[in-house]
A = this chain, B = another copy of it.
Amino acid sequence: MSLKHAVLVLLEAEPASGYDLLKRFNERMGYFWNASHQQIYKQLKTMHEAGDIDCQEEVQAGRPDRKVYSITPQGHGELLTWLAKPVKPNKINDSLLVKMYAGHLRDSDVILEEVRDHRQIHETMLQTFQAMEAEYQALVPEEQLPFKLPYLTLRRGILGEQSWLAWADEVEQALAGVAEQV
């Protein structure tokens, strides 16, 4: 039930439309939050009906009207309440590992190929995150201060991707070893 709270966190910083929120999730929180536009628009509707957010409609010519949402005092209260409650550690359900576990039903080559495909995706993500890190590190300390906590979440993304790639190395070594034996 945290899409709601992720939205509140973003709106607490600055009002935004559903479209804006989608971009912010992708650009600034991609390593810890993902949501589709369908999910976001539905959630905004629910939250507006519940009174957690206000809506200001900006009429536009030639394209749909922009609905700019902002957090209400009630929404702010909701957010603070949620922040004060402990969250459970994330549940992990990883399909790729299910496939790896059942790998004896497939060719080693096919498994390796899939791991390599995923590796490319993870490498790209790591590069993106490291580019963001470089931007942060280029700031002088006073400018860094307000981004200290977001930067820590970015570190989680970087360490997570590096760990994934280290695992992929182990997998490729182990499975390439099998191929040589054959």
- On A, residues with C-beta under 8 Å from B are 2-3, 5-6, 9, 12, 29, 31-35, 79-80, 83-84, 86-106, 110, 114, 117-118, 121-122, 146, 148-150, 152-153, 155-156, 159-160, 162-164, 166-167, 170-171, 174, 178
Contact of A159 among B122, B148, B163 (CB under 8 A): B163
Known: A86-B114, A121-B89, A148-B174. A2 touches B95 (CB 8 A): yes
Contact of A2 among B84, B98, B103, B178 (CB under 8 A): B98
Chain B nearest Cβ from A28, distance in angstroms: 9
Known: A87-B96, A152-B174. A102 touches B33 (CB 8 A): no
Known: A97-B33, A98-B2. A105 touches B83 (CB 8 A): yes
Chain B nearest Cβ from A177, distance in angstroms: 10
B152 in contact with A171 (CB, 8 Å): yes
B149 in contact with A12 (CB, 8 Å): no
B98 in contact with A6 (CB, 8 Å): yes
A97 in contact with B2 (CB, 8 Å): no
Cα distance, A39 to B92, chains bound together (Å): 15
Candidate in A31, A93, A117, A150 with the most chain B CB atoms within 10 angstroms: A93
